[in-house]
Structure 1
Amino acid sequence: MSPDDCKRLVAAIVEFLENELKRDGVTPDMAESIDVARQCLYMAYATTPEDVPSTQKKLIDIFVEACPAPPPAKELNDEEKAVAEKFKQEGNGHMREERYEEAISCYDKAIAVDSCNAVYYCNRAAAHTGRQKFDLSLRDCKKALEIDPQYSKAYSRMGLTYSKMEIYDEAIKCYEKALELDPNNEGYKKNMEIAQEKQKTQAPAGMPGMPSGMPGMPPGMGGIGNFLNNPMFMNMAKQVMENPQMQQMAMNLMGGLGGPPPGSDAGSSSQSVESGSGEAAANAAQPPQFSDIMQMGQQFAQQISETNPELVEQLRQQVQNSNTSNNTDSSDQPQS
């Protein structure tokens, strides 16, 4: 693409964004974000809508012509609706027995027959949550809300998923939205209270972007507090940290935090910096990288798993049982 063509394209995008700012239905938050995008493009490319040739089609017209809207979903007859419902009921039966893979297969078949039923997506989200496929669960909840924005159970199920991921601020937002749509639902209220309490007791992250769980541990294991409160885990962790390789990694990590590694001689460290090269001194002062912390966490988790896989599985079950007991409302069950 030539520079002139690139500039015309960006100018057309800026023109589209400016028209969006005038469109009815644009919220103040949307308008602010659109204006930021418009200004960024203007600053990066030094172009304005005036750079769009008068003979050029509007960007939105080009898009609609090249990508026409999909045809509306056909109206299902009673027989087709009955087939979809049969698949859904079979999926619900599998869910009661915690056969999540089979349930997902049934909900897939229901969606293949009726792709515009929000309940089918929401029920499949519950099955994905049972498999700890939280990203797929959130995707199905959002699809259900695209179909029916007033579907309170989809918001509640999204809240449950975020709670299992220990992202309590997002969980609370979802429960609040669910309660806006169904103010008298006691289950939604109870689950929001649980999320609020857990948010208060959740340990703050050590650094931005640090996951709340143990780095390298399998999904569904919860936050680090679940481990620190378990005597068997702490005893096993002590044994692992007696491994010379893990000790060396810990010493290197502590050295990067600005002080001498544990067990080292501060005097000799100072002497080595003075006699060493400037590059070595600079490297010694570098703070640890997040990748270093993650690597240590992953190796630690691997050794824990290899040392006592039975205990790791036991901890996983304890955390899952705790999560299950804390989710008290019927929204964690598929809708009939």
Structure 2
Amino acid sequence: MEEKRKQLAFAITEYLSDTIENNHVSEENKDGLEVAIQCISEAFGIDPKDETQKDMYSIKPANLGSIFEVYLRTKQSKENVKPNTVKVDDKEPSEEDKKNADQKKSEGNSKMAERKYDEAIQLYTEAIELNGKNAIYYANRAAAFSQSGQHEKAIEDALKAVEINPQYSKGYSRLAHAQYCLNKFDEAVKSYEKVLELDPDNNAIKQSLELAKSKSSETSTRDAGSSSDAGAGAGAGGMPNLGNLDFASLMNNPAVMNMAKEMMKNPEALNNLMNNPAIANMAKNFDPSKLQQMFGGK
């Protein structure tokens, strides 16, 4: 590596010397180049005038200028060459490919019925490789991904399905399901609404939409409760005044439920908490049976 650095440095000094000799720069700039040659020589331990080093390091009759010119031409030629690669979905499938792809899809459907989701995914993938322009194959694989818990991949396939066919309602249905499973309720609502635009009489989707809306609302309420200023409306000891909150939302608050579970592990902590006047006052706003349920009652 050291010898290569010296050879490169030697080539640079040769290029600068040629520039000076061929008057490629003004007289006032020649002095600067000579200083540069001297600095490079000292830094790399070379002597451009030494005949032995010329034999070891010189690249003449070539020079850096000609090498750079070759590089530029090569770079330009590569930029002018169009890629010869074809994406799976860009390839026009033959009739035989379409037939075989449908066969793979049918086999995948059978594996889905048998709950052999990994095998179904493989078969749908083979169908896509044969015919990447069929939205059904992507939607089916999205369903298989969701069934196997791979919801992010399901979203990718569902989006591909609706990209191929924007009128394919099942593509949006698969998308909505995967989004719902990832707790992306707001996005799921939009996707379910898109399904109903295309298939307005689908009662199952209507029910799914209502469920997604409910979850979205619960999440918004829970997030609002979590982000509230702890000082505003807080009781003694920094405990929030939960009296006006919807109890279902409270039960779904992980922080509150974790606190309750910890108290159940330590009865003394529970007694101390219930002896706190602020907590006792807050408890008056709850149905006793529900309060008992929160702290571990059946």
* TM-score, scaled relative to structure 1: 0.42
The answer to which structure, 1 or 2, has the higher relative contact order (CA under 8 A, 6+ apart) is 1
CA radius of gyration, larger in? 2
Q: TM-score, normalised by structure 2?
A: 0.47
